[in-house]
Amino acid sequence: MNLFLIDVDNTVYPKHLGVFDAIDMRINQYMKNLLGMSDEQIDKLRKFYWNKYGTTMSGLIKHYHIDPYRFLDYVHDIDIESLIKPNPLLFNKINSIKAVKIAFTNAPKKHAVRVLEALGIIELFVDIFDIISADFRGKPNRYAYEKIINKTKADKYAMIDDWEVNLKTAKTLGFFTILVGEGCVDGVDLCIKRFEDIKEESLQFRKADYQGK
């Protein structure tokens, strides 16, 4: 079995739609309400958490002992349906790829479901592995990837994401890696501007180097 791990936000839809911008604003508001910080202080703290823990939430859990479920509900309370519309071209592209597809996201499953339903592609995914499935230790933490490998035990893996740091971990485990977005970096196997640009002959799958127990 070939397994294709597909990130959700800013990967299956373009960044310019503003979905993650709306989530970003909700995160900042949450931190203002919780910590009483200024915008400048929040910006510095979030950059520190990104670099050290991979996500703002991980830093807030560690240093402020926040309730992650309340945090996730609050920051993902946005009007997705007004921002995202069905994408038949995306549906056809994902459907044509000969692999089992799992959504691999640092968002909660409820958010991922809303995004995939709005795009009209949810039926193409056999599962959603979210931040809660990863015990709140999401990408790029190696733990999340190893948990997927142990759960799925696929023959080969590929992963697509809009954050190169998330693909860096996947690369250390032997996955074929695809970066989606405007830029490209060394170390990933394939760079594309949008998901629909994947060419069948360019997509490969590789056996994971991690042997789960």
For 136-168, write each residue's pLDDT tens digit. Answer: 999 999 999 999 999 999 999 999 999 999 999
So what's the pLDDT on residue 96? 96
Q: Which two tokens stand for residue 127?
A: 């599962």
Flag whether pLDDT at 211 surpasses 80: no
So what's the pLDDT on residue 212? 62
Domain map of the chain by residue range? 2-14+85-197, 19-75
Q: What is the mean pLDDT of the chain?
A: 95
Q: What span, in angstroms and rounded, lies between the C-alpha atoms of 96 and 172?
A: 27
CB-based burial of residue 208 (10 Å sphere; 0-12 exposed, 13-18 middle, 19+ buried)?
buried
- CATH code of the region 19-75: 1.10.150.450
Percentage of residues of the chain with pLDDT beyond 70: 99
When pLDDT is averaged across residues 114-141 and rounded to a whole number, the result is 97
Residue-by-residue DSSP string for 84-124: ----HHHHHHHHHS-SEEEEE-SS-HHHHHHHHHHHT-GGG
When pLDDT is averaged across residues 197-208 and rounded to a whole number, the result is 94
- CATH code of the region 2-14+85-197: 3.40.50.1000
Model confidence pLDDT, tens digit, residues 28-87: 999 999 889 899 999 999 999 988 888 899 999 999 999 999 999 999 999 999 999 999
